[in-house]
């Protein structure tokens, strides 16, 4: 909103002042960073952006690129226009930090941030180790599972073989019984025929 923007622009200047920590400038621009905005250029850009928003207009990047402040962007209007999303992110960050300061929350200094990063790095290494161990455990479980299935399969095959043998034996016995029964019937019939002839 316009109210947030009005608050964010001075917050950006305060944030850069904190980051400079008494130095004249915030870092140095490398020769290769032709289209990199310095902290002072961000301030000018932020003021122009706020003025345009207050007038309910877009920033006139053509005109802005022709000013002395942005002379490195002359003939490169689109490069300057592409900086607008970056400006918005920086303004939001500055506003959030300033509101935390105003609310009495202490800002983390570089030492505290370095400790936090070191702790996160240790945590990350521990997490990676745990993940690797989990992968090993899962692999071992899969091997164990595969071995169990293989043993069960062998056991079932043996059991099925036994049952098949028993079934074959029963079939053979049934066959033999049928032959015996059929043979007795034939013997009785033959005996009757002999008696009749007599």
> Average pLDDT for residues 9-24, to the nearest whole number?
74
Residues 100 and 40 in one domain: yes
The two tokens of residue 105 are 């929350």
Instruction: Write out the residue range of the structural domain in which residue 134 sits.
Output: 110-198
> Average pLDDT for residues 141-167, to the nearest whole number?
88
How long a stretch of residues is the chain? 198
Q: Which residue has the tokens 């019937």?
A: 185
- Give the residue from 107, 126, 151 where a domain finishes: 107
Work out the pLDDT band at 66, boundaries 50, 70, 90. confident
- The structural domain count of the chain equals 2
Work out the pLDDT band at 37, boundaries 50, 70, 90. confident
pLDDT at 22: 54
Residues 30 and 69 in one domain: yes
Instruction: Give yes or no for residue 174 having a pLDDT over 80.
Output: yes
**Residue ranges of E strands in the chain:** none
pLDDT at 87: 83
Which CA distances in Å does 38 have to 31, 58, 76, 85, 117?
A: 13, 22, 17, 16, 26
Pick the residue with more confidence: 132 or 43?
132
pLDDT at 181: 79
Residues 103 and 150 in one domain: no
The two tokens of residue 174 are 């049934």
**Mean pLDDT of all residues in the chain?**
78
pLDDT at 184: 63
Residues 94 and 11 in one domain: yes
Instruction: Give yes or no for residue 48 having a pLDDT over 80.
Output: yes
Residues 84 and 136 in one domain: no
Dihedral sign for Cα 14, 15, 18, 19, please.
Answer: negative
Contact 83, 36 (CB under 8 A): no
Quick count: other Cβ atoms within 10 Å of Cβ 145? 10
Residues 57 and 137 in one domain: no
Among 20-29, 32-41, 124-133, the range of highest mean pLDDT: 124-133
Residues 41 and 130 in one domain: no
Tell me the whole-structure pTM to 2 decimals: 0.44
- Give the residue from 107, 139, 163 where a domain finishes: 107
> Average pLDDT for residues 162-176, to the nearest whole number?
88
Q: What are the tens digits of pLDDT across the range 72-120?
A: 777 778 887 888 888 888 888 888 888 888 877 766 666 666 777 788 8
Helix 84-102 and helix 2-20, axial crossing angle in degrees, nearest 10: 80
- Give the residue from 107, 131, 155 where a domain finishes: 107
pLDDT at 196: 55
Contact 59, 84 (CB under 8 A): yes
Among 4-8, 144-148, 193-197, the range of highest mean pLDDT: 144-148
């Amino acid at each position: 909103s316009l109210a947030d923007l009005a608050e964010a622009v001075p917050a950006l200047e305060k944030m850069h002042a904190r980051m400079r920590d008494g130095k004249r400038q915030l870092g140095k621009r490398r020769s290769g960073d032709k289209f990199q905005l310095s902290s002072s250029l961000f301030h000018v850009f932020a003021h122009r952006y706020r003025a345009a928003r207050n007038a309910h207009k877009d920033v006139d990047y053509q005109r802005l690129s022709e000013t002395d402040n942005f002379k490195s962007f002359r003939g490169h209007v689109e490069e300057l226009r592409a900086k607008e999303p970056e400006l918005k992110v920086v303004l939001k960050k500055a506003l959030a930090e300033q509101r935390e300061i105003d609310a009495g929350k202490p800002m983390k200094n570089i030492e505290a941030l370095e400790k936090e990063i070191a702790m996160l790095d240790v945590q990350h290494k521990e997490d990676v180790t745990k993940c690797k161990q989990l992968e090993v455990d899962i692999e071992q479980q899969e091997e164990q599972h595969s071995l169990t299935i293989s043993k069960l399969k062998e056991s079932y095959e043996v059991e099925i073989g036994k049952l098949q043998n028993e079934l074959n034996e029963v079939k053979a016995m049934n066959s033999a019984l049928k032959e015996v029964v059929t043979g007795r019937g034939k013997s009785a019939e033959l005996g009757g025929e002999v008696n009749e002839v007599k």
